[in-house]
């Protein structure tokens, strides 16, 4: 049995002059060497071989199609465009790998990859017929991409972990919930941005309309002719969140939840808690 030497450390008591301390004790021990995992070695070799095939195919296809297109355009442009032929089905395989636990979505990438491969092989075949005037050369050259695609497909199969139908449904249900939560992040951000823009626009219009008759256009308190503000009708079209928070504060409402509820009632629409908190803190600082 093969063994390997490892170092083990442990804390042991050590006494000097009657004082005991815990110190590290190092010890070299021989442990059995685990058997070689040939399955993993073969799996790694297949993966490396597939990568080499894909790389060779990309180089060959780019050179062939680039030479074909160089007859009608600049060589730099021709070879840059030629990269797209093999890169298309390689990208589809990458998407298929990422969606390996979602077979329904992976089918689209799989079909697109085969179509892209067919286009790439046809272009290489055309290059052999036109440049060398030999269909055999074109067919052999086109097979390079086909072999690379097949090699990578086999490599993906050995890395795949098929799920039984019930587990697959469980995964899809969990993924749908998580995807819904992720989708709501930009949606909420967009809605909040829109609400802030609407409030800023309304505040600007209110300020412009009130600046002609008052040095403080932000005041929305009662007029001298009508001291009882509780019976004064509120114009919700021009009422801002800042005004509603100030009215609630003047009414003696201090609890945050009650303020948000009162502001929502005055505005006739849901109020942004962050905006209410910002104006509420201003009143708390000046109180």
Report whether pLDDT(3) > 50. yes
How far is residue 103's CA from residue 268's CA, in Å, rounded to a whole number? 47
Query: Looking at the predicted structure, is the pLDDT value of residue 215 above 80?
Result: no
The answer for 18, left when phi > 0, alpha when psi is -120 to 50, beta otherwise, is: left
Domain tally for the chain? 3
Q: Is residue 26 part of a domain?
A: yes
pLDDT at 2 over 90: no
Report the range of poorest mean pLDDT among 50-59, 133-142, 191-200: 133-142
| 50 and 24, same domain (yes or no) | no
Kindly tell me if the per-residue pLDDT of 172 is higher than 90: no
Cα 97 from Cα 156, distance rounded (Å):
7
In this structure, are 80 and 53 located in the same domain?
Answer: yes
Task: State the Cα–Cα distance between residues 155 and 149, nearest whole angstrom.
Answer: 10
Confidence of residue 161 (pLDDT cuts 50, 70, 90): confident
Give me the percent of the chain exceeding a pLDDT of 90. Answer: 16
CA distance 276 to 264: 10
pLDDT band at residue 226 using 50, 70 and 90 as cut-offs: very low
Look over the chain and give the mean of its residue pLDDT values, rounded to a whole number. 82
User: Considering the domain boundaries, does residue 87 fall inside one?
Assistant: yes
Residue 198: pLDDT band (50, 70, 90) is confident
- My answer on whether 118 and 227 are in the same domain is no
Please say if the pLDDT value at position 220 is more than 80. no
Both 143 and 254 in a single domain?
Answer: no
Please indicate, yes or no, if residue 169 is contained in any of the structural domains: no
Q: Distance between CA 242 and CA 5 in Å, rounded?
A: 73
What is each CA distance from 154 to 49, 146, 199, 278, in whole angstroms? 11, 12, 58, 59
In this structure, the answer to whether residues 11 and 73 fall within a common structural domain is no
pLDDT at 286 (0 to 100): 79
User: Do both 118 and 89 map to the same domain?
Assistant: yes
Phi-psi region of 57 (alpha: psi -120 to 50; beta: other; left: phi over 0): alpha
Kindly state whether residues 64 and 45 are assigned to the same domain: yes
pTM: 0.56
Integer Rg of the chain from CA: 36
Do 84 and 146 share a domain, yes or no? yes
Instruction: Convert the pLDDT of each residue in 38-87 to its tens digit.
Output: 888 898 999 899 999 999 999 999 998 888 888 888 889 999 999 999 89
Q: What per-residue confidence (pLDDT) applies to 235?
A: 59
Q: Where are the alpha helices (DSSP H) in 99-239?
A: 103-131, 135-159, 165-210
**Range 130-157 burial, b when 16+ CB lie within 10 A, else e:** eeeeeeebbeebbebbeebbebbeebee
Q: What pLDDT does 232 receive?
A: 53
Of residues 43 and 232, more confidently modeled? 43
The answer, yes or no, to whether residue 107 has pLDDT greater than 50, is: yes
What is the rounded average pLDDT of the residues 275-284?
A: 83
* The pLDDT of residue 208: 56
Average pLDDT on 119-129 reads: 88
**Own/partner pairs, 193-200, CB within 8 angstroms, 24+ separation:** 195/272, 196/272, 196/275, 199/240, 199/241, 199/272, 199/275
**Enclosing domain of residue 27:** 3-32
Question: Are 17 and 79 members of one domain?
Answer: no
Query: What letter would DSSP give residue 146?
Result: H
Would you tell me the crossing angle of helices 241-250 and 165-210 to the nearest 10 degrees? 80
For position 59, what pLDDT does the model report?
A: 92
């Amino acid at each position: 049995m093969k063994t390997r030497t490892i170092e083990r450390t442990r804390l042991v008591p050590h006494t000097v002059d009657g004082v005991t301390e815990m110190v590290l004790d190092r010890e070299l021990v021989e442990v059995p060497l685990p058997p070689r995992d040939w399955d993993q070695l073969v799996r790694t070799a297949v993966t490396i071989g597939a990568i080499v095939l894909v790389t060779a195919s990309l180089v060959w296809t780019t050179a062939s199609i680039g030479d074909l297109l160089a007859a009608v355009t600049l060589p730099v442009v021709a070879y840059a465009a030629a990269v797209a032929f093999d890169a298309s089905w390689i990208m589809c395989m990458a998407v298929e790998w990422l969606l390996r636990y979602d077979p329904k979505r992976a089918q689209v990438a799989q079909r697109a990859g085969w179509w892209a491969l067919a286009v790439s092989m046809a272009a290489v075949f055309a290059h052999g017929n036109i440049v060398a005037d030999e269909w055999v050369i074109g067919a052999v050259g086109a097979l390079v991409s086909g072999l690379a695609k097949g090699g990578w497909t086999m490599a993906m199969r050995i890395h795949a972990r098929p799920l039984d139908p019930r587990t697959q449904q469980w995964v899809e249900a969990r993924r749908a919930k998580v995807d819904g939560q992720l989708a709501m992040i930009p949606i909420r951000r967009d809605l909040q941005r829109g609400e802030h823009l609407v409030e800023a626009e309304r505040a600007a219009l209110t300020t412009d309309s009130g600046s002609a008759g008052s040095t403080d256009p932000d005041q929305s308190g009662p007029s001298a002719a009508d001291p009882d503000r509780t019976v004064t009708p509120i114009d919700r079209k021009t009422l801002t969140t800042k005004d509603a928070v100030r009215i609630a504060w003047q009414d003696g409402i201090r609890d945050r939840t009650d303020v948000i509820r009162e502001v929502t009632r005055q505005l006739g629409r849901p109020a942004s808690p962050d905006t209410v908190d910002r104006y509420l803190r201003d009143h708390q600082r000046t109180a």
